[in-house]
Amino acid sequence: GHAGARGFETVTLVRHGIVDHCDSLGSAGRFGEGGDAQWMTAGRGISHSEMFPLLNKEGENRLELFQIWLNLPKKDKMADPHFKMLWSEDIPQATLPSEGSGSASTTIAVVAGRGFIEAKLEDTVPTPPPASYARDVDESDVAIVTIKLERSSKWTLPAARGGVTTRRKVFFFKGSELTADGKVFKEHTGLELRGDASVPLEATGEGDVELLLLQGKPIGEPVVQHGPFVMTSREDIMQAFMDYQKDEFGEWTHDSDAPVHPRETLRFAKHMDGTQEERPWPPPARRES
């Protein structure tokens, strides 16, 4: 069913499968396979539902995604909610030759952030929602980046633009062996890295390696969380509960508490102003250098 959220944002990045979205703004969408991302600012409050339709009648309906939570500064926690779709073909990626010998390559896709691929391509990175902490990238240095190293490929992750003030973590989630700055990792793990350091990354095992990089400068404010409410004080959390119990953060106009769009529906996004965009299925190739 649908649930409420206040005080933060979610970025849902889908690697495999289909997601159907509906919310109390009147927005809706279908997105998924191959790297579509949905960016939702909960702000002062939103009720939303993400369902996973079983469209494949013959085989498995695989689902693999990341849902990344981004905090909002206190001044923006009660901002207007916002829903935005980042289609995979609009997310720039660069395929670079390995820094070592051989024909292997590294593919970098930039969902948010700067300083990873050539500037001309990075200028096409989708703009985060209006109230997002990530919107002023020079101030926040927020980045969401996926990295795929083909077997034996080597690529050096550049230092963060924010230097030592940027907190940075790389999640090793696929592959048999990653070597990072000379250290070998055979188990999937998260690596906390210094923001002011460039780090050589290499797929040293039997197959490809895939990584998710998340980074940003700390907001520097208290964080008080209860479930999907993220505020700066216990009093604000109690207020969020009272507000949600009063009206569930808006009118739910959809046909059910857990709506699934018709089977034949293509990728689409319906926005709160009534505009609707549709995209083909399967998605076309991404913007690439």
- Mean pLDDT computed over 206-230: 97
pLDDT digits (tens, 9 = 90+) for 124-174: 999 999 999 999 999 999 999 999 999 999 999 999 999 999 999 999 999
Least confident of 65-79, 103-117, 249-263: 249-263
3-state helix, strand, coil in the chain (%, to 5): 10, 40, 50
Q: Give 8's strand partners.
A: 71
3-state secondary structure of 241: helix
Q: Concatenated DSSP letters for 118-186? A: -HHHHTTSPPPPTT-TTSSHHHH--EEEEEEEPTT-EEEEPPPTTGGGSEEEEEEEESS-EEETTEEE-
- Mean pLDDT computed over 218-233: 98
Distances from the Cα of 59 to the Cα of 55, 56, 137, 257, angstroms: 9, 6, 42, 27
Compute the mean pLDDT over every residue in the chain, rounded to the nearest whole number: 95
**What are the backbone dihedrals phi and psi of residue 148, each rounded to the nearest 5 degrees, phi first?**
-120, 120
Q: Copy the structure tokens of residue 18.
A: 């289909």
Report the percent of the chain where pLDDT is more than 90: 87
pTM: 0.95
Alpha-helix residue ranges (DSSP H) falling in 34-160:
119-122, 137-140
Predicted local distance difference test score (pLDDT) of residue 287: 67
Confidence of residue 253 (pLDDT cuts 50, 70, 90): confident
Predicted local distance difference test score (pLDDT) of residue 1: 66
Measured CA angle at 199 (ends 64, 89), to 5 deg: 40
Predicted local distance difference test score (pLDDT) of residue 289: 60
Confidence of residue 229 (pLDDT cuts 50, 70, 90): very high
Predicted local distance difference test score (pLDDT) of residue 144: 98
Predicted local distance difference test score (pLDDT) of residue 270: 96
pLDDT digits (tens, 9 = 90+) for 173-199: 999 999 999 999 999 999 999 999 999
